[in-house]
Amino acid sequence: MGRTWRRWSCRYILAEELQQFEDAFASYLGADHVIGVANGTDGLTLALQAAGVGSGDEVITTPFTAIPTVAAIVDAGARPVFVDICADTFLMDIGRVAAAVTERTKAVMPVHIFGNPVDIRRLRSLIPSRIAIVEDAAQAHGSSSGGRMCGAMGDLGVFSFYPTKNLGGYGDGGAVATSNAKYARNVRLRRTYGMVDKDHMVVHGVNSRLDELQAAILRCKLPYLDRQNEVRRSIAARYRAELRSDLFTHQAIPPDGVPNYHVFVARMTRDRDRMVEYLDKHRIQTNIYYPLPLYRQEPLAGDCRGLHLANVEALCREVIALPMYPELESAVVTQIISVINSF
């Protein structure tokens, strides 16, 4: 019996699969453009550069985030300026941003940390319109605020498709979302050496492309994202309702916000390290996101000498992440809760 072979395009870079994923993700987000890139960190750098950020500029951000947020700011040639977070939501305190603005401020980079949505509309109303908002939505696939998707509310929004993300590939990947055609064109140029055609470049660029295999995988996984986020929210609801209230203070969700619970992080004002040890003995994995305010990291500490932001410092001492993934079965959640409550 003869075999029927499907005709493969044999194109592995910047072809149909990427285009289809970019279109599907743009439509999911309600953004006009999505540009696939090699990883989230590159996406943040390219988004900042497209917004005009360069050498000597300042970018206001949170010190309570993953290291790549700040790596991208520095890579774009700018200086990160840190403002404290809100003790209850763990998000950058947008009420403090205006006071940090100087004539060198070119962008603000809010981070939807753990998938908890920042109120970007309110942030926009508090800062001058010349300042771009570049959302770090690397942890916020499917989160929303006031009915609008994270990553599609600011001037540009950036996602990571690192395998552990709520929408993850089988390797590295990232994307920039925007409804500004000029920014979209600029990011598209920069991700392929700044080339307009095979012989001409018009801006300085890099090689940062989302390959066809990752794009195909991500397009297949996208339809499952909302359902999986719903499962995460139901696990989070159980932790909130059933864990001993004398042990934990839970992350507050801003009004109108729908989080995706990329990770479930709570505060423990006492016994955090003992709890980590105890759960480890019971073979329940925990994690500390994040143990150190970014301004205490070695390459930044010199520039940030004397900076002390009380809320972030307390949070770094108190946070604990509990198991959270959509495949976590209800019976296992019951067991986890029971072990924790016997602490």
Contact residues toward ligand PLP (CB under 6 A) are: 39-41, 65-66, 68-69, 111, 136, 138-139, 160, 162, 172, 174
Smallest distance from ligand PLP to CB 262, Å: 8
Q: Tell me if 22 sits within 8 A of 175, measured CB to CB.
A: yes
170 vs 343 by CB, closer to ligand PLP: 170
53 vs 336 by CB, closer to ligand PLP: 53
43 vs 205 by CB, closer to ligand PLP: 43
Q: List CB contacts of 319: < 8 A, sequence separation 6 or more.
A: 90, 265, 266, 267, 268, 272, 288, 289, 290
Q: List CB contacts of 24: < 8 A, sequence separation 6 or more.
A: 219, 222
110 vs 205 by CB, closer to ligand PLP: 110
69 vs 116 by CB, closer to ligand PLP: 69
118 vs 322 by CB, closer to ligand PLP: 118
Smallest distance from ligand PLP to CB 168, Å: 10
Smallest distance from ligand PLP to CB 5, Å: 35
Q: Identify any residues that bridge with 244 across adjacent strands, giving them in sequence order.
A: none
Main-chain dihedrals φ then ψ at residue 174, nearest 5 degrees: -165, 175
Smallest distance from ligand PLP to CB 339, Å: 28
How far is the C-alpha of 188 from the C-alpha of 182, rounded, in Å? Answer: 10
Smallest distance from ligand PLP to CB 42, Å: 7
3-state secondary structure of 247: coil
77 vs 242 by CB, closer to ligand PLP: 77
Smallest distance from ligand PLP to CB 264, Å: 15
Instruction: Let me know the angle formed at the C-alpha of 75 by 190 and 204, rounded to the nearest 5 degrees.
Output: 25
160 vs 251 by CB, closer to ligand PLP: 160
How far is the C-alpha of 323 from the C-alpha of 231, rounded, in Å? Answer: 13
Q: Which amino acid is it at 199?
A: D
Main-chain dihedrals φ then ψ at residue 263, nearest 5 degrees: -135, 155
Name the CA radius of gyration of the chain, rounded. Answer: 21
| Selection from 198, 168, 46 nearest residue 35 by Cα | 46
Smallest distance from ligand PLP to CB 111, Å: 5
How far is the C-alpha of 2 from the C-alpha of 275, rounded, in Å? Answer: 62
Q: Which residue is nearest to ligand PLP (CB)?
A: 40
How far is the C-alpha of 17 from the C-alpha of 218, rounded, in Å? Answer: 10
Smallest distance from ligand PLP to CB 65, Å: 5
Q: Tell me if 14 sits within 8 A of 209, measured CB to CB.
A: yes
Smallest distance from ligand PLP to CB 333, Å: 24
162 vs 264 by CB, closer to ligand PLP: 162
The dihedral built from the CA positions of residue 179, 185, 190 and 192, taken in this order, carries a sign that is positive
